[in-house]
Structure 1
Amino acid sequence: MDVPQPYPGQELNLGKLNLTLGWLRQYDESLDAWQSLLQTANVTLESLRVRGYHREAAAELRDALHPVATSERAQRVADDLVKFVQEQSEQARPGERLPASTEVLESLIGKGKRLEGQQSQGGFTKSVLAMAAAVTRPTQEFIARAFAAVKTTDVVRWVRDKLGVSFGAQRQAALPSTKKGTKLAQTLSQEIQPF
């Protein structure tokens, strides 16, 4: 309303425009406050989506929100968001970033499915470890600590106890493969005739 632009090919009649839409001016302050709230939410979501929770996340968010949280209500929301991010970020160890969005997890699951496709004989269970490795920076020190802390038997036991027998392994046990030329394969092919 402050800087109206004519529609291409038509003349702008300011009197008619003010008569028709002039009542909107009474909402200028409310619209500015609402815009400030929306920008506060968008900056927060983008910051957390890209950077996640980490030791400096609250301070970074506070700095990013300062120019957009211009209304009193947006400032209160920004303060609450910074407090929440601070609480969540306290769980992160120095140098660690924790996901603040399911986008990261969805991407990781997609990567796991691609790994499973490449290792179709191994099944999804073995891809779980590869997915975990995809979200870390494996230095020699990190790997040495991991090997010292977790033995292969621990992993095998955890997989057995927590994940159980994979669907593929259950299917193989229930329906053993029959190679062509075996008596079982010949018997089955004689009993199951196509239409």
Structure 2
Amino acid sequence: MSDEGSDAKSGGKTFIGNAPEHCQLFDVVHKLALLLKSELDDNEQFNSFLSKLNETRQKIQQTDLAALMPPKQRSKAKFMSIANLVRWPLKILEAQRQGNLKSKVSNEQFSKYFGWIMSYVDDLEVWHQQLVVVEHVKERIRKEGFSQALVESVDQEFLYSKATKASVTNFQGEVLDFLQEESCKLIPGEVLPLVTEVMESGFGSYKNIAGRGGQGITGNAVRIASIYGQEQSVEESTKNLESKSTVSLQDWVGKTIGETLQGMRRTFFKGTKIDSSLESALN
């Protein structure tokens, strides 16, 4: 199984050449991201939407509305993480509808910084539904594994999903074509993972730790602390750390620093979770 990168693809072909009883499968997460890329990368409306996100982020990141900033866009593997970009404006509209923004955002401010979202509402519905298709397939494979039986089940789900937008039904067809093509390589009754997320997560964690020199947050904080203030013995440092509870520290932060951006986000977006189930999104 590979993400079809040139090195992995070449290595897989070499291996299969020496062991023809095996086959090479496409990692479903990467393939679905490529299908989204094919669908949206040259879409003028989608690229205009991304530009608006960047523009809004730049306008409010240094203001008291910074907690409402759109997510930062990735330069690499963009289509593996676009769900947050598409759902951010939906959450903004829902937060406004519920009245979560009243105390901090005037009508004039909302219109100035977020009014543009309304011109993308129809497109956002389509993109959200396409993302729901992707996430539904990934979640089923994560839980059940990849098999011919699963592909048949997904085929039936798509058939009865009642999606009305042509671009969504066409996208469902592309996803199903991929699943059926890969399932033909399986032995009847065989169940495989078809995702490399766990392995890649492990690699990512290793890189993060290695990049920090193995110190992590605690190690770096101790280094910084050693530069400032009165020199303390190990015993004194231990006593000071143990005498301060997490609750007291949080209380001090709240009184001294004030509400954090994360805290404000929780307030603004409370109750705005976007339903991403296949049944709700496509029926």
Asked if Structure 1 and Structure 2 have the same fold, meaning a TM-score greater than 0.5 normalized by the shorter chain, the answer is no
State the structure with more CA Rg.
Answer: 1
Q: Aligning the two structures, in what range does the TM-score lie when normalised by the shorter sequence?
A: 0.3 to 0.5
Q: Normalising to structure 1: TM-score of the pair? A: 0.43
